[in-house]
Amino acid sequence: MAGETAADFAPILYMLGFGLLASVPALILSRLVSPRRRYNPVKFLPMECGQMPTGEGRSHFMMQYYAYILMFVVFDVMSIFLYAWGTALFNIPRAATLPIIGFLGIMFAAMGYALYLAGRKGIW
């Protein structure tokens, strides 16, 4: 195929728009039909199993497993990059697979080291 234009992706947007068309009326209808009683301010407090909520809803938090997030940024790009190779596999000579194997070896070593570091306690 001779490549594609952005217009080929337009049906995805139609579908997105149809999703909007289907869900917005549902919310509007629900707003029209459902009761709205506002005399009890306790009702609008955040959920705390019936207690008065303590602390803030949005607070600073400890980003646990941060090492995995850093790894994700690298290896997600790697896995998408492999798709470019996987799609073109029939059209490239067999010798072109060797560099990819080398690339995979480098990435595996890096991933092993990163997983070793991610598993270590006390440095994160």
Partner 1 sequence: MASYPQNFRFGEFVGSLIWLIFWVLIIVALVGLPLIFIVLFYVPLPPVGDQVLTPYLFLTSILYPQSAIPVIKTLMGTDLFRVAMFPGFTYAALIAAVTIFIERKFLAKMQLRVGPLYAGKIEGILQLIADGLKLISKEIIVPSGADKLMFWAAPIAFVSTAAAVVALIPAAPGYVVADVDVGLLAVFAILGFFPLIALLFSWASNSKYPFIGGLRALHQMIAFEIPFILSALSVVILSGTLNLTGIVDSQLQSYWFIFFLPISAFVFYISSLAELERIPFDLPEAESEIVAGWLTETSGMIYGLLQLGSYVKTYALAALFVILFLGGWAGPMVFPAEIHTPIVNISPIYDQEAANGSLWFTLKTFGVIMLMLLPRGISPRIRMDILLHTGWYKLIVLAFINIFVALALIYGGILGPGGLLVR
Per CB under 8 A, residues contacting partner 1 are 1, 3-4, 8-20, 22-24, 26-27, 29-31, 33-37, 41, 43-49, 53, 55, 57-59, 61, 64-65, 68-69, 71-72, 75-76, 79-80, 82-83, 86-87, 89-90, 94, 97, 104, 111, 115, 118
To partner 1, the closest distance from the beta carbon of 82 in angstroms equals: 6
68, 118 Cβ separation under 8 angstroms: yes
Give the Å distances, CA to CA, from 42 to 37, 38, 54: 12, 10, 13
Give the Å distances, CA to CA, from 110 to 23, 69, 78: 45, 15, 12
To partner 1, the closest distance from the beta carbon of 99 in angstroms equals: 14
